[in-house]
């Protein structure tokens, strides 16, 4: 009996050591204010999560590397390479809703993010020709992302097999170096024009770029769910 107890204690200690990081305080499944509880957990642990958790195989989300992003519009060809996005760490949770019985949840959050990349661009925006090959920076103010996701439990772990996303933003501001091969006057005019018409330009750039950001986030959440048993994330007592 003593030996058995010893074994159980050892086992419990081992499981705790290899699982939920101490900066994440789980909510009880029966909490009458479960939504608010999880919202607080995400707010409190989110910044640390975005730094990555190497012992659980979770990669950083700030910075997050998107690699190559293509905008393939008949009027505007634009390719970003070595794309890096920063700022997710400072995200703010607006609302969180979870229905554990149905396996559905919605996370609504806002962050100020900056995308940096090498760019090659050729085409036109409205009637203005635009061409360049250099470094670019896009600052997005109050990028609001809403992710509605399904989660299923398999072998004691959650997994997100599908999700839907929506996003909007207050503003985007661009900086492009070496527009028109460095022609200063033309570059200045174009730079101003892009910033005044940021909505038109972002309507091309945002779908491929922001979809990728969201996918990277979901990928890391899935890794997290794969590492931590569902019963520890949402204990039923």
Ligand X SMILES: *[C@@H]1O[C@H](CO)[C@@H](O)[C@H](O)[C@H]1NC(C)=O
What residues line the site for ligand X (CB under 6 A)? 90, 92, 110-112, 141-142
Minimum distance of ligand X from residue 63's CB (angstroms): 17
Q: Between 68 and 141, name the residue whose CB sits nearer to ligand X.
A: 141
Which long-range CB contacts under 8 A does 67-70 form with residues at least 24 apart?
A: 69/117, 69/205, 69/208, 69/209, 69/212, 70/208
Q: Between 110 and 222, name the residue whose CB sits nearer to ligand X.
A: 110
Largest CA distance in the chain: 85
Q: Between 108 and 219, name the residue whose CB sits nearer to ligand X.
A: 108
Q: Minimal CA–CA distance to 215: which of 172, 160, 135, 134? A: 160
Provide the token pair at 192.
């101003």
Minimum distance of ligand X from residue 143's CB (angstroms): 8
Provide the token pair at 164.
């839907």
Minimum distance of ligand X from residue 229's CB (angstroms): 32
Minimum distance of ligand X from residue 38's CB (angstroms): 19
Q: Between 92 and 192, name the residue whose CB sits nearer to ligand X.
A: 92
Q: Between 90 and 123, name the residue whose CB sits nearer to ligand X.
A: 90
Minimum distance of ligand X from residue 90's CB (angstroms): 5
Q: Minimal CA–CA distance to 95: which of 141, 148, 59? A: 148
Residue number of the CB closest to ligand X reads 112
Minimum distance of ligand X from residue 144's CB (angstroms): 9
Q: Between 92 and 168, name the residue whose CB sits nearer to ligand X.
A: 92
């Amino acid at each position: 009996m003593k030996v058995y107890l010893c074994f159980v204690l050892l086992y419990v200690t081992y499981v705790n050591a290899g699982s939920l990081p101490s900066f994440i305080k789980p909510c009880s499944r029966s909490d009458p204010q479960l939504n608010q509880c999880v919202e607080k957990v995400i707010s409190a642990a989110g910044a640390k999560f975005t730094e990555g958790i190497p012992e659980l195989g979770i990669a950083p989300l700030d910075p997050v590397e998107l690699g190559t992003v293509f905008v393939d519009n008949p009027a505007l060809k634009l390719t970003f390479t070595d794309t890096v996005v920063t700022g997710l760490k400072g995200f703010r949770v607006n609302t969180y809703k979870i229905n554990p019985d149905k396996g559905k949840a919605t996370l609504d959050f806002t962050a100020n993010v900056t995308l940096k990349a090498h760019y090659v661009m050729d085409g036109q925006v409205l009637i203005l020709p635009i061409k360049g090959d250099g470094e670019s920076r896009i600052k997005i103010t109050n990028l609001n992302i809403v992710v509605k996701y399904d989660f299923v439990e398999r072998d004691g772990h959650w997994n997100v097999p599908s999700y839907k996303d929506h996003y909007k933003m207050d503003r985007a501001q661009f900086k492009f170096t070496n527009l028109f091969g460095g022609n200063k006057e033309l570059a200045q005019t174009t730079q101003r024009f892009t910033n005044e018409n940021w909505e038109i330009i972002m309507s091309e750039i945002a779908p491929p770029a922001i979809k990728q950001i969201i996918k990277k986030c979901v990928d890391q959440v899935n890794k997290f769910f794969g590492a931590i048993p569902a019963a520890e994330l949402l204990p039923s007592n």
